[in-house]
Amino acid sequence: MATFVVAAIAAWSASRARFGTDLFDALPDDPSLMRYRVLLAENGAQGPITVGFFGEGAIRDSLISAADRFVSAAQADTTGTIDSVFCRPDAAWAEEVLAVILHNLPLHADPLRLQWLTSADELALDSAMGAAKAALSAPGGEFEADRILADPFGLTQPLRDRLMAGISDGNAALIDGVLFSPDSSMAIALPWPTPNGARDPQLLMKALDRSMRDAGSPGIRSAAFGAAPMAMANRSAIGEDSMRTSAVALVLVLTLLLWFYRDLRFMPLFLLPPAFGFVLGVGALAMLRGSISGLAIGASSALLGIALDYSFHFLTHLRQRRDVAATLREVAAPMVLGCLTTVLAFGALSFASSRVLADLGMIAAFMLAGALFMVLIVLPHFVPASYSVRLSFGAADEVPSVPRARVGRWVALLGIVIVTAGLLPFTGRVTQDADPERLSLIPEDMRQVRDRMEGSSDRAVPVFLAGVGRDE
């Protein structure tokens, strides 16, 4: 009864778990990485998404038509996730809007900049005025004189930056009034998400995917590149990979066991302990932390073989011994000791700075402990009756042992030594892959958009400067 109560509580807790797919979970909990993560979250969600239209041998007019159809479809979207979208920038309109922004300065002032101004001391104000004077006296300062004199403290700078960024992508070319990639092989549209779209990238990407499908035509491919498309692509890949690897591992293991035992009654007995252990591990982690890294769930499929080993040891020994009580007496101690060492080894990962490793360590510890509990406490009550019948082997009541050839042991040991010595020189060639991009999945169409905009190699590396303090 207690087992069912524990299983029910674990299942209830697991059903309430929140699964995260942030690739930063795989990186160490380093302060600089966390600041970079915050900057990406703040700036990536506010910036536009690049939607590219390209095709092998596609003519320019077809690409322009596809971009125009996408803009029309996105503007008609009713999900409230797309604020604005265009593929034909209007520079004159931008100049007019900038003039209106400066004319109505208090209305369009950035709240954070305004808060800084109201709390700035005399030294900070003198420093800001000095920077404005330096900008006026710099070469080309006369072209910015109206803007600097109207807004010397840069109160409208964030709004103006967002506006100018929306006029054209920094790497884009303007051909026939339409945005194109630098090599003119891809037409570009720039949708801007609303705050609701930035908070719900899944809903945003559904709206963009519908608009791209409506804009589709034979020979024209389209893809979106940006923070939201990357996040959703990785979330989908993590979920699919986790299910696929777990299913393949389960099928292979069950096929092997069916071939070895040739008895379908053993299949549920093998699956029960790892299933209980997995639910216990996820439920315990959800109860302790609330959220679980999706990457850790995918990696935990590797624990399936270890959890199945406990069932294998018990049932294989029982198959020969034909006595449940005697089997438990003989295998309980080594199985508990082996499980304890494995749990401690995986449990040490819970102290790792990487969220994925920490979650994997917690899931592994509870999963393996729960699987062993099921094998030693619950499984003996469900073994087939034919394997509970005790066989007689004489007065000693022991299974006769088969003598092993001593020569074979030495041959096996010699083979291991030879193989180890032969592979040892190659260990020095192993290097750590320091490219964090390899942690992320970039679908081929998305990669095409990125490479056409930024180049497939020697891309610019963004550098973020973050300061701490009132005047930064």
What is the model's pLDDT at position 69?
A: 92
Q: What are the angstrom distances between the C-alpha of 104 and each of 88, 99, 108, 114, 163? A: 27, 9, 6, 14, 16
70-74, 246-250, 336-340, 344-348: which range is least confident on average? 246-250
Q: pLDDT at residue 106 above 80?
A: no
Q: What SS3 state is found at 188? A: strand
What is the model's pLDDT at position 70?
A: 92
What is the model's pLDDT at position 461?
A: 55
Give the model confidence (pLDDT) of 34-44 as tens digits.
665 555 555 54
Q: pLDDT at residue 425 above 50?
A: yes
Judging by beta carbons within 10 Å of its beta carbon (0-12, 13-18, 19+), is residue 132 exposed, middle or buried? middle
User: Chain-wide mean pLDDT for the chain?
Assistant: 75
Please check whether residue 270 is in contact with residue 315, taking contact to mean a CB–CB distance below 8 angstroms.
Answer: yes
pTM: 0.58
* 426 residue type, one letter: F
Please give the span between the terminal C-alpha atoms of the chain, in angstroms, as a whole number.
Answer: 62
In 260-398, where do the E strands start and end?
Answer: 291-293
Can you tell me the mean pLDDT for 368-390? 76
Q: Which of 159, 35, 28, 29 is nearest to 465 (CA)?
A: 35
What is the model's pLDDT at position 243?
A: 76
Give the model confidence (pLDDT) of 383-413 as tens digits.
766 555 554 444 444 545 555 556 667 788 8
Can you tell me the mean pLDDT for 334-343? 89
More confident residue, 45 or 339: 339
Can you tell me the mean pLDDT for 148-171? 68
What is the model's pLDDT at position 109?
A: 76
Q: Which of 307, 305, 327, 325 is nearest to 316 (CA)?
A: 327
Give the model confidence (pLDDT) of 168-225 as tens digits.
555 677 777 788 888 888 999 888 888 788 778 888 889 999 999 988 888 899 999 8
What is the model's pLDDT at position 53?
A: 93
Can you tell me the mean pLDDT for 298-315? 78
Q: Which of 325, 327, 323, 300 is nearest to 313 (CA)?
A: 327
pLDDT classification of 377: cutoffs 50, 70, 90: confident
Give the model confidence (pLDDT) of 15-51 as tens digits.
665 665 555 555 556 565 566 555 555 554 456 788 9
pLDDT classification of 351: cutoffs 50, 70, 90: confident
Can you tell me the mean pLDDT for 257-267? 76
Please check whether residue 360 is in contact with residue 268, taking contact to mean a CB–CB distance below 8 angstroms.
Answer: no
What is the model's pLDDT at position 134?
A: 83
